[in-house]
Amino acid sequence: MTADLLDQQDVRAAMAGDGEAYRRLVTRHQPALAAYLWRFTRDRRECEELVQETFVEAYLSLGSYRGRSPWSHWLRKIATRVGYHFWKARARQRTLLGMSAEAWQRAAEMSREMEAAEAAEAVHVMLARLAPRDRLVLTLLYLEQCSVAEAAELCGWTQTMVKVQAYRAKRRFRKLWEAEEGKR
């Protein structure tokens, strides 16, 4: 039985009140979900909370799952919403996260020798300075390597909106770093 069929079967059972079926879904999908939500926070405890919140929200809206797409896609859409709201709540703190333009440039130059986790940390700090919408679109397109259509589906936006948002986010990103360089 394919993973998708197994999911559909467990989703139907969970909707009928089978707790064990939902437990199996959580166990099966949490590694992928944790990896995805790790893009939204670098704090393990926060990541656990986001994963938990996603599964709880998913359970509460199981009735709206129509089974037209794999359950994992539907779950990722919920996770995107949970992560985005988390960023919005944290937006006020973004000025507190800091990495100088110089330090970031050094990190970028050494990117090939860097550990993936270090590079991810540098990217996270960098993107944290952008508004949540800009951050979301850049994360999906450049870190998750989603296509425009996939990003649109995850965000609940139109494809045109994703393109426009990505264009603006890139422009703001450049401006931000030009301003940082100007401070030096």
Partner 1 sequence: MNHWEQFEALAARARDESGPHIDVTARVMDELRRRAATPVVDWPLRLFSALSAAAAVTVAVLAIQACTVDPLSGLFATFTMVMQ
Burial-class residue 91 by CB neighbours within 10 Å (0-12, 13-18, 19+): middle
Nearest approach, Cβ of residue 184 and partner 1 (Å): 13
CB 169 within 8 A of CB 137: yes
Identity of the residue, 107 or 152, whose beta carbon is nearer to partner 1 in the bound complex: 107
CA–CA dist 120, 111 (Å, integer): 10
Residues binding partner 1 (CB under 8 A): 19, 22-23, 26-27, 30-31, 34-38, 44, 47-48, 51-52, 55-56, 59-60, 104-105, 107-109, 111-112, 114, 116-117, 119-120, 122-123, 126, 142-143, 145, 170, 173-174, 177-178
C-beta closer to partner 1: residue 35 or 164: 35
Q: Give the length of the chain.
A: 184
Q: How far is the CB of 72 from partner 1 (least distance, A)?
A: 15
Q: Judged by CB, which is closer to partner 1: 34, or 131?
A: 34
For 130, phi then psi, to 5°, come to: -95, 165
Start-to-end Cα distance in the chain = 59
